[in-house]
């Protein structure tokens, strides 16, 4: 091989130096381009990358602000609809078409006959005692006409009467003498405080 002269060697070295610098510049430019592209993709697909990362770390993505707001609105609408409908109790007809219910009077369980023909809640002496209402003979200050004739009753005010989810407070009532009333009656002093009393296909519907 023929040896290069001094000028030729210098020319070759300059070409090599330029080529090396060009390669470095190109490599640096390519790196910036790749970094910029990765940054742009990260911005575009931020939500997907975040979800995937949380999944890899075993974390569950929380609900978005829009989802939480929609759920709150849904619950609020349900509560308003329930409030508009009111609380309702259905009682099926029993023997001879009468409507018997398990009530709570002053928080104590008492079986009653729902009777819209009775102007007032009437309790047997035993049921009144069970509900914490203690009557003395001197408390029988009123007389009422019954199917069995005239009877004495003691007027009282009950703290509360509940049937299912329905509760009425401060209910006027009357307590009969011992042995004078067979079943406690849920009369109009309770029923008249409700929004609706209806009978549908043998079912008594009470709505507060």
How many structural domains compose the chain?
Answer: 2
Instruction: Check whether residue 152 and residue 188 sit in a common domain.
Output: yes
Contact 177, 166 (CB under 8 A): no
Of 44, 62, 80, the residue that ends a domain is: 62
Instruction: Check whether residue 52 and residue 101 sit in a common domain.
Output: no
Instruction: Check whether residue 106 and residue 158 sit in a common domain.
Output: yes
The arithmetic mean of pLDDT across residues 38-54, rounded, is: 48
Nearest to 188 by CA among 98, 97, 99, 117: 117
Q: Is the pLDDT of residue 167 over 90?
A: yes
Residue 7: what pLDDT?
53
The domain that contains 172 carries what CATH number?
2.40.70.10
Nearest to 165 by CA among 79, 74, 90: 90
Note whether residue 118 is domain-resident: yes
Report the share of the chain in percent with pLDDT over 70: 59
Separation CA 175–CA 135 (nearest Å): 8
Q: Is the pLDDT of residue 195 over 80?
A: yes
Residue 65: what pLDDT?
59
Instruction: Check whether residue 119 and residue 181 sit in a common domain.
Output: yes
Q: Is the pLDDT of residue 18 over 50?
A: no
The band of 196, judged by pLDDT with boundaries at 50, 70 and 90, is very high
The more confident residue out of 179 and 14 is 179
Separation CA 106–CA 127 (nearest Å): 11
Domain range for 43 is 6-62
Tell me the three state secondary structure of residue 32. helix
Instruction: Check whether residue 112 and residue 194 sit in a common domain.
Output: yes
The arithmetic mean of pLDDT across residues 14-29, rounded, is: 49
CA 89-124-188 angle, 5° bins: 45
Give the pLDDT confidence of 73-130 residue by residue, as tens digits: 666 555 555 444 568 999 999 888 999 999 999 999 999 999 999 999 999 999 999 9
Note whether residue 105 is domain-resident: yes
Instruction: Check whether residue 196 and residue 112 sit in a common domain.
Output: yes
Note whether residue 72 is domain-resident: no
Say which residue the tokens 């209402």 belong to: 133
Nearest to 164 by CA among 53, 88, 74, 94: 88
Instruction: Check whether residue 106 and residue 46 sit in a common domain.
Output: no
Main-chain dihedrals φ then ψ at residue 97, nearest 5 degrees = 75, 10
Note whether residue 202 is domain-resident: yes
The band of 144, judged by pLDDT with boundaries at 50, 70 and 90, is confident
Burial label for 137, CB within 10 Å (0-12, 13-18, 19+), is exposed
Nearest to 115 by CA among 139, 94, 141, 135: 94
Instruction: Check whether residue 103 and residue 179 sit in a common domain.
Output: yes
Instruction: Check whether residue 43 and residue 92 sit in a common domain.
Output: no
Note whether residue 197 is domain-resident: yes
In the structure encoding, which two tokens stand for residue 159, read together?
A: 């703290």
């Amino acid at each position: 091989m023929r040896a290069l002269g001094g000028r030729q060697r210098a020319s070759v070295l300059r070409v090599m130096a330029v080529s090396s610098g060009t390669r470095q510049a190109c490599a640096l430019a390519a790196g910036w381009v790749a970094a910029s592209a990765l940054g742009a993709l990260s911005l575009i697909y931020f939500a997907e990358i975040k979800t995937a990362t949380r999944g890899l770390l075993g974390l569950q993505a929380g609900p978005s602000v829009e989802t939480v707001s929609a759920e709150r609105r849904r619950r609020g609408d349900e509560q308003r609809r329930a409030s508009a409908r009111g609380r309702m109790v259905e009682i099926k007809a029993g023997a001879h078409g009468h409507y018997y219910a398990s009530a709570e009077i002053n928080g104590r369980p008492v079986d009653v006959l729902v009777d819209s023909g009775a102007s007032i809640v009437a309790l047997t002496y035993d049921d009144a005692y069970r509900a914490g209402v203690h009557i003395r003979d001197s408390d029988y200050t009123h007389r009422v006409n019954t199917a069995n004739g005239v009877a004495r009753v003691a007027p009282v005010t009950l703290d509360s009467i509940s049937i299912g989810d329905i509760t009425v407070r401060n209910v006027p009532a009357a307590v009969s003498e011992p042995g004078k009333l067979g079943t406690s009656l849920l009369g109009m002093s309770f029923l008249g405080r409700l929004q609706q009393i209806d009978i549908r296909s043998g079912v008594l519907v009470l709505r507060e």
